[in-house]
Structure 1
Amino acid sequence: MSDDAVRLSELVPEYSRYYNVTPKEAAHALHELIDDLYSEHGEKRGNRLSINEVFWVGKPDSSKRAARNYNFHFQLLSQYFQGFFASASEVSPGCVSCYSEFDERFKDVPASLVWLSRCKFSEWVLDAGIDPPESISKAGVARKVLEDSSDSTLKTLELESIRKIMVGLVRLIKEVDKAHCEQPVDYDDKRRSDRIKLRASRLNNPPRKNTDLYRELIEFAEDAGFELVKDRQTLRRYMHGESKASSGE
Protein backbone atom coordinates (compact mmCIF):
# COMPACT_ATOMS: atom_id res chain seq x y z
CA MET A 1 0.00 0.00 0.00
CA SER A 2 1.49 3.36 -1.01
CA ASP A 3 2.37 5.75 1.82
CA ASP A 4 1.03 8.52 -0.43
CA ALA A 5 -2.54 7.19 -0.11
CA VAL A 6 -4.55 7.83 3.04
CA ARG A 7 -8.15 7.02 4.00
CA LEU A 8 -10.66 9.84 4.39
CA SER A 9 -11.57 8.39 7.80
CA GLU A 10 -7.98 9.03 8.99
CA LEU A 11 -7.84 12.75 8.19
CA VAL A 12 -9.57 14.07 11.31
CA PRO A 13 -7.65 11.80 13.75
CA GLU A 14 -4.32 12.62 12.05
CA TYR A 15 -5.04 16.37 12.14
CA SER A 16 -6.10 16.12 15.78
CA ARG A 17 -2.91 14.29 16.81
CA TYR A 18 -0.58 16.42 14.71
CA TYR A 19 -1.82 19.80 15.97
CA ASN A 20 -2.89 18.58 19.43
CA VAL A 21 -6.50 19.75 19.03
CA THR A 22 -9.83 18.02 19.63
CA PRO A 23 -11.44 15.96 16.82
CA LYS A 24 -14.24 18.54 16.60
CA GLU A 25 -11.71 21.34 16.14
CA ALA A 26 -9.80 19.29 13.55
CA ALA A 27 -13.00 18.54 11.63
CA HIS A 28 -14.00 22.20 11.69
CA ALA A 29 -10.64 23.22 10.22
CA LEU A 30 -10.91 20.62 7.44
CA HIS A 31 -14.52 21.61 6.79
CA GLU A 32 -13.44 25.24 6.26
CA LEU A 33 -10.56 24.12 4.05
CA ILE A 34 -12.92 22.22 1.73
CA ASP A 35 -15.23 25.25 1.61
CA ASP A 36 -12.27 27.48 0.66
CA LEU A 37 -11.24 25.01 -2.05
CA TYR A 38 -14.78 25.03 -3.41
CA SER A 39 -14.74 28.82 -3.50
CA GLU A 40 -11.49 28.85 -5.51
CA HIS A 41 -11.72 25.74 -7.70
CA GLY A 42 -15.49 25.34 -7.94
CA GLU A 43 -16.87 28.87 -8.05
CA LYS A 44 -14.03 31.07 -9.32
CA ARG A 45 -12.56 28.59 -11.80
CA GLY A 46 -15.68 26.55 -12.53
CA ASN A 47 -13.81 23.26 -12.02
CA ARG A 48 -16.12 21.40 -9.65
CA LEU A 49 -14.79 18.06 -10.89
CA SER A 50 -11.24 18.76 -9.67
CA ILE A 51 -12.15 17.07 -6.39
CA ASN A 52 -12.36 13.75 -8.25
CA GLU A 53 -8.70 14.04 -9.25
CA VAL A 54 -7.80 13.82 -5.56
CA PHE A 55 -10.45 11.59 -3.92
CA TRP A 56 -11.63 8.17 -5.07
CA VAL A 57 -13.41 5.07 -3.77
CA GLY A 58 -11.05 2.16 -3.20
CA LYS A 59 -11.17 -1.13 -1.33
CA PRO A 60 -11.05 -2.12 2.35
CA ASP A 61 -7.52 -3.52 2.07
CA SER A 62 -6.18 -1.45 -0.79
CA SER A 63 -6.18 2.06 -2.21
CA LYS A 64 -6.70 0.60 -5.68
CA ARG A 65 -9.58 2.41 -7.36
CA ALA A 66 -12.90 0.51 -7.34
CA ALA A 67 -14.25 -0.84 -10.64
CA ARG A 68 -17.41 1.24 -10.35
CA ASN A 69 -17.01 4.97 -10.76
CA TYR A 70 -18.06 7.44 -8.05
CA ASN A 71 -18.19 11.22 -8.29
CA PHE A 72 -17.54 13.40 -5.27
CA HIS A 73 -19.01 16.84 -4.62
CA PHE A 74 -17.48 19.64 -2.58
CA GLN A 75 -20.65 20.28 -0.56
CA LEU A 76 -21.11 16.63 0.37
CA LEU A 77 -17.50 16.24 1.44
CA SER A 78 -17.85 19.43 3.46
CA GLN A 79 -20.96 17.96 5.12
CA TYR A 80 -18.96 14.87 6.08
CA PHE A 81 -16.54 16.97 8.12
CA GLN A 82 -19.39 19.09 9.46
CA GLY A 83 -20.92 15.90 10.87
CA PHE A 84 -18.06 15.72 13.40
CA PHE A 85 -18.82 19.03 15.10
CA ALA A 86 -22.39 20.02 14.17
CA SER A 87 -23.91 17.52 16.57
CA ALA A 88 -23.57 17.28 20.33
CA SER A 89 -22.88 13.57 19.88
CA GLU A 90 -19.28 12.35 19.96
CA VAL A 91 -20.04 9.69 17.34
CA SER A 92 -18.02 10.25 14.17
CA PRO A 93 -19.81 10.07 10.81
CA GLY A 94 -19.07 6.77 9.15
CA CYS A 95 -20.05 7.58 5.57
CA VAL A 96 -19.74 10.24 2.91
CA SER A 97 -22.31 10.68 0.16
CA CYS A 98 -21.20 10.54 -3.48
CA TYR A 99 -22.77 9.82 -6.85
CA SER A 100 -22.57 6.28 -8.21
CA GLU A 101 -22.54 6.26 -12.02
CA PHE A 102 -23.37 2.54 -12.01
CA ASP A 103 -26.49 2.95 -9.82
CA GLU A 104 -27.27 6.42 -11.23
CA ARG A 105 -27.98 7.78 -7.77
CA PHE A 106 -26.24 9.13 -4.68
CA LYS A 107 -24.99 6.54 -2.21
CA ASP A 108 -23.42 6.64 1.23
CA VAL A 109 -19.94 5.13 1.05
CA PRO A 110 -17.97 4.24 4.21
CA ALA A 111 -15.30 6.87 4.78
CA SER A 112 -12.76 4.08 5.30
CA LEU A 113 -13.22 3.11 1.62
CA VAL A 114 -12.58 6.65 0.38
CA TRP A 115 -8.95 7.42 -0.39
CA LEU A 116 -6.92 10.46 -1.36
CA SER A 117 -3.37 11.13 -2.51
CA ARG A 118 -1.32 13.21 -0.07
CA CYS A 119 0.76 14.67 -2.90
CA LYS A 120 -2.18 15.48 -5.18
CA PHE A 121 -4.15 16.94 -2.27
CA SER A 122 -1.23 19.20 -1.32
CA GLU A 123 -0.76 20.34 -4.95
CA TRP A 124 -4.52 20.94 -5.24
CA VAL A 125 -4.52 23.10 -2.11
CA LEU A 126 -1.36 24.96 -3.18
CA ASP A 127 -2.91 25.68 -6.57
CA ALA A 128 -5.73 27.46 -4.72
CA GLY A 129 -3.17 29.69 -3.00
CA ILE A 130 -3.55 27.96 0.38
CA ASP A 131 -0.92 26.27 2.55
CA PRO A 132 -1.88 22.57 2.86
CA PRO A 133 -2.15 21.08 6.37
CA GLU A 134 1.13 19.43 7.31
CA SER A 135 -0.85 16.62 8.90
CA ILE A 136 -1.95 15.57 5.40
CA SER A 137 1.07 16.44 3.27
CA LYS A 138 3.56 13.62 2.78
CA ALA A 139 6.45 15.85 3.82
CA GLY A 140 4.60 16.88 6.96
CA VAL A 141 3.92 13.29 7.98
CA ALA A 142 7.54 12.32 7.35
CA ARG A 143 8.69 15.29 9.40
CA LYS A 144 6.42 14.30 12.29
CA VAL A 145 8.05 10.86 12.31
CA LEU A 146 11.46 12.49 12.46
CA GLU A 147 10.39 14.79 15.29
CA ASP A 148 9.25 11.77 17.28
CA SER A 149 12.57 10.00 16.72
CA SER A 150 16.16 10.92 17.57
CA ASP A 151 16.78 14.62 18.20
CA SER A 152 20.35 14.33 16.92
CA THR A 153 19.21 12.74 13.65
CA LEU A 154 16.60 15.46 13.18
CA LYS A 155 19.13 18.18 13.90
CA THR A 156 21.53 16.74 11.32
CA LEU A 157 18.82 16.57 8.63
CA GLU A 158 17.61 20.09 9.40
CA LEU A 159 21.11 21.56 9.29
CA GLU A 160 21.78 19.86 5.96
CA SER A 161 18.54 21.25 4.49
CA ILE A 162 19.33 24.75 5.76
CA ARG A 163 22.89 24.53 4.44
CA LYS A 164 21.71 23.44 1.00
CA ILE A 165 19.11 26.21 0.80
CA MET A 166 21.56 28.92 1.91
CA VAL A 167 24.25 27.77 -0.53
CA GLY A 168 21.64 27.62 -3.30
CA LEU A 169 20.28 31.11 -2.62
CA VAL A 170 23.79 32.60 -2.63
CA ARG A 171 24.43 30.86 -5.94
CA LEU A 172 21.20 32.33 -7.37
CA ILE A 173 22.34 35.82 -6.34
CA LYS A 174 25.63 35.27 -8.16
CA GLU A 175 23.84 33.98 -11.26
CA VAL A 176 21.57 37.06 -11.35
CA ASP A 177 24.58 39.37 -11.02
CA LYS A 178 26.38 37.48 -13.77
CA ALA A 179 23.33 37.67 -16.08
CA HIS A 180 23.18 41.44 -15.68
CA CYS A 181 26.90 42.22 -15.77
CA GLU A 182 28.47 39.79 -18.23
CA GLN A 183 28.00 39.88 -21.98
CA PRO A 184 26.70 36.54 -23.41
CA VAL A 185 29.22 34.86 -25.70
CA ASP A 186 26.72 32.94 -27.86
CA TYR A 187 22.99 32.32 -28.46
CA ASP A 188 22.62 29.59 -25.81
CA ASP A 189 24.40 31.73 -23.24
CA LYS A 190 22.09 34.64 -24.05
CA ARG A 191 18.99 32.46 -23.70
CA ARG A 192 20.17 31.23 -20.31
CA SER A 193 20.93 34.79 -19.21
CA ASP A 194 17.48 35.99 -20.32
CA ARG A 195 15.76 33.14 -18.44
CA ILE A 196 17.61 34.01 -15.24
CA LYS A 197 16.68 37.70 -15.57
CA LEU A 198 13.05 36.75 -16.16
CA ARG A 199 13.00 34.44 -13.14
CA ALA A 200 14.45 37.18 -10.93
CA SER A 201 11.89 39.64 -12.25
CA ARG A 202 9.04 37.20 -11.48
CA LEU A 203 10.17 37.02 -7.86
CA ASN A 204 10.00 40.80 -7.54
CA ASN A 205 6.82 41.17 -9.62
CA PRO A 206 4.73 37.99 -9.31
CA PRO A 207 2.54 37.32 -12.40
CA ARG A 208 -0.51 36.63 -10.20
CA LYS A 209 -1.63 37.28 -6.65
CA ASN A 210 -1.25 33.73 -5.34
CA THR A 211 2.01 32.90 -7.13
CA ASP A 212 3.80 29.99 -5.45
CA LEU A 213 7.15 31.48 -4.40
CA TYR A 214 8.55 28.07 -3.46
CA ARG A 215 7.89 26.64 -6.93
CA GLU A 216 9.37 29.78 -8.51
CA LEU A 217 12.61 29.39 -6.52
CA ILE A 218 12.95 25.70 -7.39
CA GLU A 219 12.37 26.37 -11.11
CA PHE A 220 14.71 29.38 -10.92
CA ALA A 221 17.51 27.13 -9.68
CA GLU A 222 16.76 24.57 -12.39
CA ASP A 223 17.11 27.27 -15.06
CA ALA A 224 20.42 28.25 -13.45
CA GLY A 225 21.59 24.65 -13.79
CA PHE A 226 21.47 23.25 -10.27
CA GLU A 227 19.10 21.80 -7.67
CA LEU A 228 18.06 24.02 -4.75
CA VAL A 229 15.86 21.46 -2.95
CA LYS A 230 13.77 18.55 -4.16
CA ASP A 231 10.30 19.84 -3.23
CA ARG A 232 8.33 22.91 -2.16
CA GLN A 233 7.50 21.47 1.26
CA THR A 234 11.13 21.75 2.38
CA LEU A 235 11.36 25.41 1.37
CA ARG A 236 7.99 26.13 2.97
CA ARG A 237 9.20 24.85 6.32
CA TYR A 238 12.09 27.31 6.50
CA MET A 239 10.38 30.20 4.69
CA HIS A 240 6.86 29.86 6.14
CA GLY A 241 4.78 32.97 5.48
CA GLU A 242 7.19 34.48 2.95
CA SER A 243 5.15 33.33 -0.05
CA LYS A 244 2.06 35.28 1.07
CA ALA A 245 4.11 38.32 1.95
CA SER A 246 5.75 38.27 -1.47
CA SER A 247 2.43 38.02 -3.28
CA GLY A 248 1.02 41.06 -1.50
CA GLU A 249 -1.51 39.21 0.64
Structure 2
Amino acid sequence: MTEHIREVFWLTDHNKNEMLYISPGYEEIWGRTCESLYASPRSWLDSIHPEDRMKVLDAALQKQVNGLYDEEYRIVRPEGTIRWIWDRAFPIHDASGAVYRIAGIAEDITVRKLAEDEVLKLNEDLEQRVQRRTRDLEAVVRELKREITERQRIEQVLRETEEGFRCLAEATFEAITVTENGKVLHANHRFAEMFGYGLEKLIGMPSIDFHPPEHRDRVMQMNLSRDQSTYTAMCLRKDGSTFFAEIRG
Protein backbone atom coordinates (compact mmCIF):
# COMPACT_ATOMS: atom_id res chain seq x y z
CA MET A 1 0.00 0.00 0.00
CA THR A 2 1.16 3.56 -0.63
CA GLU A 3 1.24 4.07 3.14
CA HIS A 4 4.17 1.64 3.40
CA ILE A 5 6.46 2.65 0.54
CA ARG A 6 9.23 5.23 0.62
CA GLU A 7 8.03 7.13 -2.45
CA VAL A 8 5.25 9.70 -2.43
CA PHE A 9 2.42 9.02 -4.87
CA TRP A 10 0.40 12.11 -5.90
CA LEU A 11 -2.54 12.99 -8.15
CA THR A 12 -3.76 16.44 -9.27
CA ASP A 13 -6.22 17.90 -11.74
CA HIS A 14 -4.65 18.93 -15.05
CA ASN A 15 -4.62 22.64 -14.12
CA LYS A 16 -2.70 21.94 -10.88
CA ASN A 17 -5.37 23.80 -8.93
CA GLU A 18 -6.41 20.85 -6.76
CA MET A 19 -4.45 18.12 -5.03
CA LEU A 20 -6.65 15.02 -5.41
CA TYR A 21 -4.42 12.56 -3.55
CA ILE A 22 -1.08 12.56 -1.70
CA SER A 23 0.27 9.45 0.04
CA PRO A 24 1.35 9.59 3.71
CA GLY A 25 5.07 9.52 2.85
CA TYR A 26 4.68 13.24 2.11
CA GLU A 27 4.51 13.99 5.82
CA GLU A 28 7.76 12.15 6.55
CA ILE A 29 9.75 13.67 3.68
CA TRP A 30 8.30 17.20 3.51
CA GLY A 31 7.67 17.55 7.26
CA ARG A 32 4.19 18.91 6.53
CA THR A 33 0.75 17.35 6.88
CA CYS A 34 -1.21 15.95 3.95
CA GLU A 35 -4.17 18.05 5.11
CA SER A 36 -2.16 21.26 4.70
CA LEU A 37 -1.38 20.34 1.08
CA TYR A 38 -5.02 19.50 0.31
CA ALA A 39 -6.02 22.86 1.79
CA SER A 40 -3.30 24.81 -0.05
CA PRO A 41 -1.83 23.02 -3.11
CA ARG A 42 0.51 25.99 -3.63
CA SER A 43 2.38 25.01 -0.45
CA TRP A 44 4.13 22.39 -2.62
CA LEU A 45 5.68 25.20 -4.68
CA ASP A 46 6.44 27.29 -1.60
CA SER A 47 8.41 24.40 -0.06
CA ILE A 48 10.84 24.25 -3.02
CA HIS A 49 14.23 25.87 -2.49
CA PRO A 50 14.16 29.43 -3.91
CA GLU A 51 17.05 28.67 -6.27
CA ASP A 52 15.15 25.73 -7.80
CA ARG A 53 11.57 27.02 -7.68
CA MET A 54 11.20 28.71 -11.08
CA LYS A 55 13.00 25.89 -12.89
CA VAL A 56 10.65 23.32 -11.37
CA LEU A 57 7.54 25.44 -11.99
CA ASP A 58 8.44 25.93 -15.67
CA ALA A 59 9.11 22.21 -16.09
CA ALA A 60 5.81 21.28 -14.41
CA LEU A 61 3.76 23.59 -16.61
CA GLN A 62 5.48 22.56 -19.86
CA LYS A 63 6.29 18.87 -19.40
CA GLN A 64 3.76 17.19 -17.13
CA VAL A 65 0.96 17.12 -19.71
CA ASN A 66 3.14 15.23 -22.22
CA GLY A 67 4.85 12.84 -19.80
CA LEU A 68 8.31 14.42 -20.03
CA TYR A 69 8.42 15.80 -16.48
CA ASP A 70 11.45 14.38 -14.65
CA GLU A 71 13.07 16.77 -12.18
CA GLU A 72 15.50 16.77 -9.28
CA TYR A 73 15.19 19.68 -6.87
CA ARG A 74 15.65 20.73 -3.27
CA ILE A 75 12.93 21.35 -0.70
CA VAL A 76 13.19 23.22 2.59
CA ARG A 77 11.43 21.54 5.51
CA PRO A 78 9.71 23.69 8.17
CA GLU A 79 12.66 23.34 10.58
CA GLY A 80 15.06 24.55 7.86
CA THR A 81 16.69 21.30 6.76
CA ILE A 82 17.10 20.65 3.03
CA ARG A 83 16.23 17.45 1.16
CA TRP A 84 16.69 16.46 -2.46
CA ILE A 85 13.63 15.20 -4.37
CA TRP A 86 13.37 13.20 -7.60
CA ASP A 87 9.92 13.91 -9.09
CA ARG A 88 8.27 12.31 -12.16
CA ALA A 89 4.79 12.81 -13.62
CA PHE A 90 2.52 11.35 -16.30
CA PRO A 91 -0.75 12.52 -17.86
CA ILE A 92 -4.01 10.58 -17.49
CA HIS A 93 -6.47 10.88 -20.38
CA ASP A 94 -10.24 10.72 -20.28
CA ALA A 95 -12.38 8.74 -22.69
CA SER A 96 -12.08 11.48 -25.32
CA GLY A 97 -8.28 11.50 -25.13
CA ALA A 98 -7.96 14.80 -23.28
CA VAL A 99 -5.64 15.15 -20.29
CA TYR A 100 -7.71 15.54 -17.14
CA ARG A 101 -5.41 14.28 -14.38
CA ILE A 102 -1.67 14.35 -13.64
CA ALA A 103 -0.20 11.44 -11.65
CA GLY A 104 3.28 11.39 -10.25
CA ILE A 105 5.75 9.86 -7.86
CA ALA A 106 8.35 11.74 -5.80
CA GLU A 107 11.30 10.17 -4.01
CA ASP A 108 13.73 11.42 -1.36
CA ILE A 109 17.20 11.12 -2.96
CA THR A 110 19.11 13.13 -0.35
CA VAL A 111 21.39 10.23 0.54
CA ARG A 112 22.21 9.64 -3.11
CA LYS A 113 22.96 13.32 -3.76
CA LEU A 114 25.27 13.47 -0.74
CA ALA A 115 27.00 10.35 -2.04
CA GLU A 116 27.40 11.97 -5.46
CA ASP A 117 29.04 14.99 -3.82
CA GLU A 118 31.43 12.64 -2.07
CA VAL A 119 32.18 10.90 -5.37
CA LEU A 120 33.04 14.25 -6.94
CA LYS A 121 35.52 14.92 -4.15
CA LEU A 122 37.06 11.50 -4.60
CA ASN A 123 37.33 12.06 -8.35
CA GLU A 124 39.36 15.21 -7.74
CA ASP A 125 41.79 13.15 -5.72
CA LEU A 126 41.84 10.44 -8.37
CA GLU A 127 42.80 12.97 -11.04
CA GLN A 128 45.98 13.76 -9.08
CA ARG A 129 46.96 10.08 -9.17
CA VAL A 130 45.71 9.27 -12.67
CA GLN A 131 49.20 8.53 -14.04
CA ARG A 132 49.77 5.79 -11.46
CA ARG A 133 46.30 4.22 -11.58
CA THR A 134 45.17 4.64 -15.18
CA ARG A 135 43.77 1.16 -15.59
CA ASP A 136 41.83 1.29 -12.31
CA LEU A 137 40.36 4.67 -13.21
CA GLU A 138 39.26 3.41 -16.64
CA ALA A 139 37.41 0.53 -14.97
CA VAL A 140 35.60 2.97 -12.67
CA VAL A 141 34.61 5.17 -15.61
CA ARG A 142 33.26 2.19 -17.54
CA GLU A 143 31.11 1.14 -14.59
CA LEU A 144 29.78 4.68 -14.11
CA LYS A 145 28.89 4.90 -17.80
CA ARG A 146 27.11 1.54 -17.62
CA GLU A 147 25.03 2.68 -14.64
CA ILE A 148 24.18 6.02 -16.27
CA THR A 149 23.18 4.34 -19.55
CA GLU A 150 20.91 1.87 -17.74
CA ARG A 151 19.19 4.66 -15.79
CA GLN A 152 18.69 6.71 -18.97
CA ARG A 153 17.20 3.66 -20.71
CA ILE A 154 14.68 3.07 -17.92
CA GLU A 155 13.71 6.76 -17.72
CA GLN A 156 13.24 6.95 -21.49
CA VAL A 157 10.81 4.02 -21.38
CA LEU A 158 8.80 5.78 -18.65
CA ARG A 159 8.67 9.03 -20.61
CA GLU A 160 7.57 7.51 -23.89
CA THR A 161 4.82 5.20 -22.69
CA GLU A 162 1.23 6.06 -21.91
CA GLU A 163 1.40 3.18 -19.42
CA GLY A 164 3.40 5.33 -16.99
CA PHE A 165 0.49 5.79 -14.65
CA ARG A 166 -0.40 2.09 -14.70
CA CYS A 167 3.22 1.21 -13.88
CA LEU A 168 3.05 3.47 -10.84
CA ALA A 169 -0.26 2.00 -9.73
CA GLU A 170 0.87 -1.61 -10.17
CA ALA A 171 4.06 -0.88 -8.16
CA THR A 172 1.99 -0.50 -5.00
CA PHE A 173 -0.03 -2.97 -2.94
CA GLU A 174 -2.89 -0.49 -2.67
CA ALA A 175 -6.09 -0.99 -4.67
CA ILE A 176 -6.28 2.00 -7.05
CA THR A 177 -8.92 3.15 -9.53
CA VAL A 178 -9.34 6.27 -11.63
CA THR A 179 -12.94 7.24 -12.41
CA GLU A 180 -14.72 9.77 -14.59
CA ASN A 181 -18.39 10.65 -14.18
CA GLY A 182 -18.75 7.79 -11.74
CA LYS A 183 -17.34 5.09 -14.06
CA VAL A 184 -14.01 3.27 -13.92
CA LEU A 185 -11.38 4.39 -16.45
CA HIS A 186 -8.36 2.60 -14.98
CA ALA A 187 -7.83 0.00 -12.24
CA ASN A 188 -4.78 -1.89 -11.04
CA HIS A 189 -4.50 -5.64 -10.47
CA ARG A 190 -4.76 -5.26 -6.71
CA PHE A 191 -8.20 -3.65 -7.08
CA ALA A 192 -9.33 -6.42 -9.44
CA GLU A 193 -8.17 -9.10 -7.01
CA MET A 194 -9.79 -7.40 -4.03
CA PHE A 195 -13.23 -7.20 -5.71
CA GLY A 196 -13.05 -10.45 -7.67
CA TYR A 197 -13.33 -8.99 -11.20
CA GLY A 198 -11.15 -9.25 -14.28
CA LEU A 199 -9.47 -5.98 -15.28
CA GLU A 200 -11.36 -5.76 -18.59
CA LYS A 201 -14.69 -6.25 -16.80
CA LEU A 202 -13.93 -3.35 -14.43
CA ILE A 203 -13.50 -0.73 -17.16
CA GLY A 204 -16.72 1.23 -17.54
CA MET A 205 -18.37 -0.14 -14.40
CA PRO A 206 -20.13 2.39 -12.15
CA SER A 207 -17.94 2.83 -9.08
CA ILE A 208 -21.01 2.87 -6.83
CA ASP A 209 -21.61 -0.81 -7.76
CA PHE A 210 -18.68 -1.72 -5.51
CA HIS A 211 -20.85 -0.99 -2.46
CA PRO A 212 -24.01 -2.74 -1.16
CA PRO A 213 -27.23 -0.96 -2.21
CA GLU A 214 -28.08 0.05 1.34
CA HIS A 215 -24.73 1.88 1.70
CA ARG A 216 -24.64 3.68 -1.64
CA ASP A 217 -26.39 6.89 -0.58
CA ARG A 218 -23.85 7.40 2.20
CA VAL A 219 -20.90 6.66 -0.11
CA MET A 220 -22.19 9.15 -2.68
CA GLN A 221 -22.54 11.81 0.02
CA MET A 222 -19.00 11.16 1.26
CA ASN A 223 -17.63 11.36 -2.31
CA LEU A 224 -19.31 14.72 -2.81
CA SER A 225 -18.11 16.09 0.52
CA ARG A 226 -15.07 18.39 0.47
CA ASP A 227 -14.60 18.09 4.22
CA GLN A 228 -13.38 14.49 4.27
CA SER A 229 -10.94 12.94 1.78
CA THR A 230 -10.64 9.63 3.67
CA TYR A 231 -13.47 7.52 5.07
CA THR A 232 -14.40 3.91 5.83
CA ALA A 233 -17.17 2.19 3.86
CA MET A 234 -18.54 -1.28 3.26
CA CYS A 235 -17.54 -2.74 -0.11
CA LEU A 236 -19.16 -5.44 -2.24
CA ARG A 237 -17.26 -8.18 -4.08
CA LYS A 238 -18.45 -9.81 -7.30
CA ASP A 239 -19.40 -12.95 -5.37
CA GLY A 240 -21.68 -10.95 -3.06
CA SER A 241 -19.40 -11.01 0.00
CA THR A 242 -18.66 -7.73 1.75
CA PHE A 243 -15.76 -6.13 3.59
CA PHE A 244 -14.86 -2.77 5.06
CA ALA A 245 -12.20 -0.62 3.37
CA GLU A 246 -10.62 2.79 3.85
CA ILE A 247 -11.32 4.99 0.81
CA ARG A 248 -9.24 8.01 -0.19
CA GLY A 249 -9.53 10.68 -2.84
The TM-score normalised by the length of structure 2 is 0.26
Point out the structure with the larger strand share. Answer: 2
The TM-score normalised by the length of structure 1 is 0.26
Q: Larger relative contact order (C-alpha < 8 A, sep ≥ 6)? A: 1
Point out the structure with the larger helix share. Answer: 1
